[in-house]
Structure 1
Amino acid sequence: MRLTAIHSATVPIASPIRNAYIDFSKMNVSVVAVVTDVIRDGAPVVGYGFNSNGRYAQQGLITERFLPRLREADPASLLNDAGDNLDPHRIWATMFANEKPGGHGERSVAIGTVDMAVWDAVAKIEGKPLYRLLADRYNDGHVDERVFVYAAGGYYYPGKDLTALQDEMRKYLDLGYTVVKMKIGGAPLDEDRARVEAVLQVVGRGDRLAVDANGRFDLDTAIAYAKALEPYGLFWYEEAGDPLDYALQAELAQHYQLAMATGENLFSMQDARNLIRHGGLRSDRDWLQFDCALSYGLVEYLRTLRMLKEHGWSARRCIPHGGHQMSLNIAAGLGLGGNESYPDVFQPFGGFADLTPVVDGYVTLPDVPGIGIEAKPRLHAVMRGIHA
């Protein structure tokens, strides 16, 4: 077998919302289609990939640097030992050839996008959902039949008052979610406190609400918010300071005894390891949000999980950022603690299979080969359009 074509494009996901740091009015993503000569159901197997929200499309890196390396490689060097399927690890190594260590930056997003498409193709060639393939290869065949998911929203929006915020959160509960997340840090503390209290009136308990500052705060502000938030008993307090300021994170842990979460803006195993070594996180309560689609893909995520185990962390403390089907498959197949979900925003890339309801805060995955993009028709139409 061999790769016959690799297509890529940029797709907008612009939305008039903002968090504490950026607005999404110009946001876009890269999408990739990996075409093989393997025929299933009368058509070539095609793997699809895209990058998560929050990072812009990486079209230049993908088309000028990484895809040419795959096209120039000996086709056999990209296959497994049996020669009957792609080897994601060998493909990853081919893309990363001639790259210096460190300075991971946006190249991790570009490689992660292609890596997703490769894993989608690999699972389709084997005729398995990706989560079952991952469980068979890396988790002794164990699959989590249900995966915990929480609804991420609560963005700042022009004209959005407390009533509108409450209505949004009530909608998530009606959809079956038991935990919701809202943004903080885009308004003064007193205003954010009022927003938190308004949402608590809807969800009923603090442990059903997480808050996310998107790295906005300096240490003093992070501590001030910690003191204001701790009495609410929240599900977590997320990314208070710059994601690379491990000293801030470690100091904050001395002032906030409840669960914190961070990691979505760390894009390599090495950065994740530095967080574990120096960030003061507690393996019994804190959460790690590394997102494979932004951090070199699943090949690198497997390295990160091995590193976590070596440092005494369970994969159950990982709830990836991104709200997409790739991370959901990883959660089910590798035994993570859950996955983010975007019921209302970043469509059609956010969310899961259309016919998969959320029941008591959990979802089940469809029994379809690959990531399951074909079970999300609006997304499949976008992906199919780049190679049709």
Structure 2
Amino acid sequence: MRITAIRDVVAPIKSDIANAWIDFSTMTVSVVAVVTDLVVDGRPVVGLGFNSNGRYAPQGLLRERFIPRLLAAAPEDIQGEDGLIDPHRAWAAMMKNEKPGGHGERSVAVGVLDMALWDALAKAKGVPLWRLLADRYRGGDADARAWVYAAGGYYYPGKGLDALKDEMRSYLDRGYSTVKMKVGLVPLEEDIARIEAVLSVLGGDGSRLCVDVNGRFTLEEAIRFGRAVAPYGLRWYEEPVDPLDCLAHAALATTYDGSLATGENLFSHQDARNLIRHGGLRPDRDILQFDPALSYGLVEYLRTLEVLRSHGWSPRRCVPHGGHQFALNIAVGLGLGGNESYPDVFAPFGGFADAVPVEDSRVAMPDVPGIGFEAKNALYAVMRPLERE
């Protein structure tokens, strides 16, 4: 199995929404297709991938460094013993001559290609990625369904409390029982009113609501906000301070007894290890949101899971950011705690296969070879031109 071409394109996912830190008026993603010479069922195997929302398309890095390195690698250097492309060996080829540290935008570029390589490998074997992962790493034990929650509640021009409640009702109508909303952009009193509006839709059950600050608060602001929302018993309080400020996380954890969630903006197993060592997080209640599509891909995510295990953390405490099918396959195949979902935003990259219903915030996986992009029509329409070029 050899790579014959790698194609990429930049796709827009711009919208008028905003969180506490950024708006999405110019947001983009990179989409790649890794074309191989292996033919299955009369068609060449093509692996497809893209990066999660929140980080812009890394096209320059892809074209200048990582795609050329992958194409230049000797076929035998990136193949496994079965003759198929081995994502671990391909990862090593892509990272050749890269210094340690600096886990920023390059992790996104490598993650895009890593996603496509795992998609190609699973297609070559004729199995869904979740099945491949369960067989390889869990003795065949795959979760029957994955827990998912609906992420929304963004700030939007002219969007008042009634519109916010209507949005959350629409998620409940589509089978979600747990939802997430953005906070931190407006004064505390306004956010409390927004939270109480959403809780009124959820029957007052705070365990069905997550709130996300996107790293906006200082420690003092995070403590003040935490004290204000503590009586609601929220599912979790997400990314309250800067994601790299471990000391602030540790200090907040001494004052907030509820669940904290963070990690979506940490992109390596080394960063994850620092968070676990120094961030004061608690393995009995807190949530880790490392996104494999942004953090060098699944090859690196496996290293991150090993770091967590060595420090007493269960994979069930991991609920990846991103709301994409790649992380959903990983959650089911590797036994994570669940996955984010974007029912309405970042289309067509958010959400799952078209025929997959959400029932009580849980989804089952389709039996589609690879990651399953072909079962999501709007997304596959973006990818298909690269596949057939």
- How large is the Cα RMSD of the aligned pairs? 0.6
Deviations 1:14-38 (Å, cap 9, x if unpaired)? 0110000000010000111001111
Q: 1:80-229 maps to which residues of 2 (within 5 A)?
A: 80-83=80-83, 85-204=84-203, 205-229=205-229
Deviation at 1:41, TM superposition (A): 2.2
CA distance in 2, matches of 1:264, 1:94: 25
Deviations 1:25-62 (Å, cap 9, x if unpaired)? 10000111001111122110111000000000000000
**Partner of residue 322, structure 1:** 322
Verify: 1:45 aligned to 2:45, yes or no.
Answer: yes
Deviation at 1:190, TM superposition (A): 0.2
CA distance in 2, matches of 1:16, 1:385: 27
TM-score, length-scaled by structure 1: 0.99
Deviations 1:263-291 (Å, cap 9, x if unpaired)? 00000000000000000000000000000
- The secondary structure found in structure 2 opposite 1:386 is helix
TM-score, length-scaled by structure 2: 0.99
CA distance in 2, matches of 1:332, 1:114: 21
Percent sequence identity is 68
Verify: 1:377 aligned to 2:377, yes or no.
Answer: yes
- The secondary structure found in structure 1 opposite 2:196 is helix
- The secondary structure found in structure 1 opposite 2:124 is helix
Deviation at 1:217, TM superposition (A): 0.2
* Count of equivalent residues: 387
Deviation at 1:341, TM superposition (A): 0.1
CA distance in 1, matches of 2:387, 2:299: 25
Runs of at least 4 residues off by over 2 Å: none
Deviations 1:165-201 (Å, cap 9, x if unpaired)? 0000000001000100000001100000000000000
Contact 2:77 2:89 in 1 (8 A): yes
CA distance in 2, matches of 1:143, 1:320: 17
**Partner of residue 66, structure 1:** 66
CA distance in 2, matches of 1:245, 1:252: 11
- The secondary structure found in structure 2 opposite 1:11 is strand
- The secondary structure found in structure 1 opposite 2:368 is coil
- The secondary structure found in structure 1 opposite 2:210 is strand
Deviation at 1:71, TM superposition (A): 1.2
Listed as ranges, the gaps of 5+ residues in structure 2 are none
Deviation at 1:140, TM superposition (A): 1.1
Amino acid paired to 1:172: Y
CA distance in 2, matches of 1:71, 1:298: 20
CA distance in 1, matches of 2:47, 2:324: 15
- The secondary structure found in structure 1 opposite 2:358 is coil
Verify: 1:258 aligned to 2:223, yes or no.
Answer: no
CA distance in 1, matches of 2:66, 2:15: 29
- The secondary structure found in structure 1 opposite 2:321 is coil
CA distance in 2, matches of 1:384, 1:208: 37
CA distance in 2, matches of 1:334, 1:43: 29
**Partner of residue 75, structure 2:** 75
CA distance in 1, matches of 2:127, 2:360: 27
CA distance in 1, matches of 2:82, 2:13: 40
- The secondary structure found in structure 2 opposite 1:137 is helix
